[in-house]
Amino acid sequence: MTDTDDDGDLEARLVEQESFEPAEEFVSQANVSDEAIYEEFEENWPHSWTRAADLLDWEREYSEVLDDSNEPFYEWFPDGTLNASYNCVDRHVENGDKNRVAIKWEGEHGETRTYTYQDLYREVNEFAAALRDLGVEEDDVVTLYMPMVPELPIAMLACARIGAPHSVVFAGFSADALATRMNSADSRYLVTCDGYYRRGDALDHLQKANEGLAGVDHGVDATVVADRLGDDGFGHDLKGNQHAWDDLMDDHQGDRVDPVERNAEDMLFLMYTSGTTGQPKGVKHTTGGYLAYTAWTSHAVLDLEPEDTYWCSADIGWITGHSYIVYGPLALGTTTVMYEGTPDFPERDRLWEIIEKYAVDVFYTAPTAIRAFMKWGSQFPERHDLSSLRLLGTVGEPINPRAWKWYYQHIGNEECPIVDTWWQTETGGMMVTTLPGVCTMKPGSAGPPLPGIDARVVDTSGDEVDAGRAGYLTVEKPWPGMLRTLYNNDERFIEEYWAEYSDPDADEWVYFPEDGAKIDEDGYITILGRVDDVINVSGHRLGTMEIESAIVGVEGVAEAAVVGGEHEVKGEAVYAYAILEDGYDGDDEMRDRIVAGVEDAIGPIARPQQVIFTPELPKTRSGKIMRRLLEEIANEEELGDTTTLRNPEIVEEIQNKVE
C-alpha cells in the first residue's frame, strides 16, 4: 500500500505530519524518560549492561560483564549462574505476587484460562517433573510443536527449569519441517497437541506431528500430547511412547523440581530460522544474556510494569513470541495475554474486543496486521473502548508512514507513542527503535539504535554512508541478547554474520544482519529490507532457497526460482518461476502440485501467490539466475539493465505470463 492511497480513513492533518512527540502523560510515567541514558551506556560500555543483568536474580553473581577473548564467540556475564524459570516464575511468587495474573489466555471460541504466578509455578513444576520422569536430562533438546495454548509457555519454562533447551517449531509448519528441525537438533523428545481452532474449524495437529515423527532419523524417546480439542478431537490413539499431557500432570500432581543452576552461557533454547541456503539455521540463545536483554528491552522499550496487562499478538512459534510474550514480560512479573485465533474471527473487531475485555495497557503487533485493519476500516476499533492503551508497538517488517499514522490515530487515539522495533531472531531482542519516553517519533523510521547498541549504516567497503544515502546495516559491538552460534555449526555462524565486514587480522568484528538501511541527520535508521535471498511474508521470514528446493522436489519440475513480489497486506508474497521437464504441461494440475509441494515441505505460509511457467530463466553469461529481474517482473516495475543477460528474449515472454 502506498502513501498516496486514500483508503484507510486517516485524518488529513496527520497526512503531512513527519514527526510526533510522546505525550507528556506518557513521558511522566515512563520507565526510561531521561535521554542521558544514551551517553551513560556509551561511557560505561560494556559495564552499562549490568543495568540489564540487574533486572534478574542470579544464583551466583557474575564478576565479569563481557568476555571477548574469543571473538566473535562473545560470552556475557560468563561466570554468573541463574535459572530462567526461577526468574520468570518463582521469584514473583516469593516476592508476594503469587496472586498476580501471569498468563491470560483466550481461545478462539471465547473460552478463557487464567494462570496466576502461583498457578504457573505449580504447572511448570509438575510438567518439569513429568519431563524428568520421561528421561529428559540437562542439555537434551526438547522440541515443542504447539499452537497458541498455555501448555506451550508452561512447557518452555519447564524445560528451562531442568536445563533442557527447547526448540519451538511453529505449529503452521509442515510435518517435513518438523522432522528437519528435530533431526538437525538431534532432539529425542516432542511435546505437541491434538489440534487447535482456526476460523471456527478444528485442525488436526497430531496427524501432522505423527507424520513428522515418522521422518525423525534417530527415533524419538517420548512424545507428550496436550488436549486442546476435547470432544472435537480426531480420535487418534496414542502410541507406545506417547503420553497424554493431563495423565502426566495427574501423575505428578504436587511435585516440585528445584530449578537447575545454569551457567549464564548455557543454552536456553534453539530457534530455527530461514537463511540463504535450503537448510534452516539453528540459532542458539543463552540463559543469562538473552534473559537479561529481553527483560531490559521489555522494561525500557515496552515500558512494562508488573501491574500492566500486556499483549503481543505474535505466535510463540516465532522469536517475537519467545522474547515478548514469554521471557521478557514474565521476567518482569507482568500479565501477558495469549490469543489462540485470528483477528477476524468471529468478526473483524476481535483484537479490539480483547483489548477492551482485558483492559490491555501495551499492545505489540506486526505491520501486516495493521495494513489489514486499515483495509477493514476504522469502524471495527470504534466499536470498542481502547482507552486502557498506553503504548503501541510494531515489529517484523517496515511500516509505511500511512499505516503508522492510522495505528496512531485509530488505535492509540493520538495519545499512545508507537515503537517501531527493528530486530531479528538472531539479535534475541529489539535493537533499533525509539525509547518511547525519550524520543521523537518519525513514522516509517524505526529510530536510533538503543543505548549500548552500535548500529551503523555502511557502504560495501564498510564506511559509514552520508545521511539520506542507502547502505547496509551493521552492528559493530556485541550485545547480551545476541546469538552465540548456529547449532553445531560455528563455521556457518562466522560465514553468515561476520565474514562480510569483519577484519579478523585487525581484531575488528562486525555483525551483518543482511538488511539494507538509510540513516538521517538525527541518526534515525529506516530499514529498507533484506539484501539476501530471504523474503518477508506477513512478517514471517522465508528462505527462497527452501521454497525452491520444495518446488524442484515436485515431479516434472526441472528448475525453479522464487522471489518476493510486493503485496498490499502481506508486505511480500511468494512468486515462483518454474521450468518443467519435457512431457509436462504448465497447467492447473501442475500448479496445484507445486503449491501442495511447498505446503508439504514448509507449510501454508510459504504458498506461492503465483506460479509462472517459463521455458527458461533469465541468466547472466556466467549462468547465474538474475533474481533482481524476476523481482522487477513480479512487481511490474520498469526493468533494469538486461544487457548482461545470456537470454534477453525470455524476459518479455515471462512478463506476459505474470497476472
Q: Which stretch binds ligand PRX (CB under 6 A): 62-70, 448-456, 522-530, 574-582?
A: 522-530
- CB of 302: closest distance to ligand PRX in angstroms? 13
Q: Which stretch binds ligand PRX (CB under 6 A): 390-398, 461-469, 475-483, 571-579?
A: 390-398
Q: Which of residues 243-302 bind ligand PRX (CB under 6 A)?
A: 273
- CB of 564: closest distance to ligand PRX in angstroms? 11
Interface with ligand PRX (CB under 6 A), residue from 90, 123, 397, 631: 397
Q: Which three cell numbers stand for residue 486?
A: 548456529
- CB of 274: closest distance to ligand PRX in angstroms? 8
- CB of 326: closest distance to ligand PRX in angstroms? 14
User: Under the criterion CB under 6 A, does residue 536 sit at the interface with ligand PRX?
Assistant: yes
Compare residues 136 and 302 and give the one whose CB is closer to ligand PRX: 302
Compare residues 320 and 409 and give the one whose CB is closer to ligand PRX: 320
Angstrom distance (rounded) from CA 362 to CA 411: 11
User: Under the criterion CB under 6 A, does residue 474 sit at the interface with ligand PRX?
Assistant: no
Find residue 271's DSSP bridge partners: 283
The residue length of the chain stands at: 659
Q: Taking the alpha carbons of 198, 201, 205, 211 in that order, is the dihedral positive or negative? A: negative
- Residue 162: C-alpha distances to residues 135, 137, 203, 436 (Å): 11, 7, 31, 36
Find residue 363's DSSP bridge partners: 311, 392
Residue 89 in contact with residue 121, Cβ under 8 Å?
A: yes
Compare residues 189 and 310 and give the one whose CB is closer to ligand PRX: 310
Residue 47 in contact with residue 63, Cβ under 8 Å?
A: no
Residue 225 in contact with residue 194, Cβ under 8 Å?
A: yes
- Residue 352: C-alpha distances to residues 313, 409, 524 (Å): 12, 14, 31
Instruction: Specify the 3-state DSSP secondary structure of 40.
Output: helix
Residue 142 in contact with residue 160, Cβ under 8 Å?
A: no
User: Under the criterion CB under 6 A, does residue 527 sit at the interface with ligand PRX?
Assistant: yes
- CB of 203: closest distance to ligand PRX in angstroms? 23
Angle at which helix 117-133 crosses helix 151-162, to 10 degrees, equals 60
- CB of 529: closest distance to ligand PRX in angstroms? 6
- Residue 203: C-alpha distances to residues 147, 154, 180, 193, 349 (Å): 10, 22, 22, 11, 23
- CB of 645: closest distance to ligand PRX in angstroms? 28
Compare residues 46 and 603 and give the one whose CB is closer to ligand PRX: 603
Of the candidates 481, 459, 455, the one whose C-alpha atom is nearest the C-alpha of residue 469 is 459
**Size of interface with ligand PRX, in residues (CB under 6 A):** 21
Site string for ligand PRX, 436-465 (x = CB under 6 A): ----------x-------------------
User: Under the criterion CB under 6 A, does residue 542 sit at the interface with ligand PRX?
Assistant: no
Q: Which stretch binds ligand PRX (CB under 6 A): 523-531, 604-612, 617-625, 643-651?
A: 523-531
- CB of 514: closest distance to ligand PRX in angstroms? 6
The backbone region for 352, taken as left when phi is positive above 0, alpha when psi lies in -120 to 50, beta otherwise, is alpha
User: Under the criterion CB under 6 A, does residue 398 sit at the interface with ligand PRX?
Assistant: yes
- CB of 260: closest distance to ligand PRX in angstroms? 28
Site string for ligand PRX, 300-329 (x = CB under 6 A): -------------------xx---------
Compare residues 380 and 404 and give the one whose CB is closer to ligand PRX: 404
User: Under the criterion CB under 6 A, does residue 541 sit at the interface with ligand PRX?
Assistant: yes
Q: Which stretch binds ligand PRX (CB under 6 A): 104-112, 137-145, 203-211, 526-534?
A: 526-534
Angstrom distance (rounded) from CA 615 to CA 32: 59
Q: Which stretch binds ligand PRX (CB under 6 A): 133-141, 226-234, 304-312, 389-397?
A: 389-397
Compare residues 248 and 446 and give the one whose CB is closer to ligand PRX: 446
User: Under the criterion CB under 6 A, does residue 336 sit at the interface with ligand PRX?
Assistant: no
Tally the C-alpha atoms within 13 A of residue 366's C-alpha that lie toward its C-beta.
23
Angstrom distance (rounded) from CA 514 to CA 483: 15
- CB of 71: closest distance to ligand PRX in angstroms? 22
Interface with ligand PRX (CB under 6 A), residue from 513, 571, 597, 618: 513
> SS3 string of 534-601?
EEEECCEEEEHHHHHHHHHCCCCEEEEEEEEEEECCCEEEEEEEEEECCCCCCCHHHHHHHHHHHHHH
Compare residues 104 and 541 and give the one whose CB is closer to ligand PRX: 541
- CB of 412: closest distance to ligand PRX in angstroms? 17
Compare residues 65 and 519 and give the one whose CB is closer to ligand PRX: 519
| Strand order across the 309-312 sheet | 112-116, 101-106, 335-339, 309-312, 362-365, 391-395, 418-421
Residues 6+ apart with CB under 8 A from 1: 8, 371, 374, 400, 402, 403, 568, 569
- Residue 103: C-alpha distances to residues 120, 198, 246, 375, 539 (Å): 8, 21, 19, 31, 24
Compare residues 458 and 527 and give the one whose CB is closer to ligand PRX: 527
- CB of 180: closest distance to ligand PRX in angstroms? 17
Compare residues 122 and 570 and give the one whose CB is closer to ligand PRX: 570
Compare residues 377 and 529 and give the one whose CB is closer to ligand PRX: 529
How many other C-beta atoms lie within 10 A of the C-beta of residue 631?
Answer: 18
- CB of 3: closest distance to ligand PRX in angstroms? 16
> What is the separation of C-alpha 199 from the centre of its chain, rounded to a whole number of angstroms?
23
Q: Which stretch binds ligand PRX (CB under 6 A): 58-66, 393-401, 579-587, 651-659?
A: 393-401
- CB of 316: closest distance to ligand PRX in angstroms? 13
Site string for ligand PRX, 399-428 (x = CB under 6 A): ---------------------xxxxxx---
Angstrom distance (rounded) from CA 314 to CA 354: 14
- CB of 91: closest distance to ligand PRX in angstroms? 27
Angstrom distance (rounded) from CA 571 to CA 597: 23
Write the DSSP string, 292-314.
HHHHHHHHHTS---TT-EEEE-S
Chain residues that interact with ligand PRX, rule: CB under 6 A: 273, 319-320, 395-398, 420-425, 446, 513, 515, 527, 529-530, 536, 541
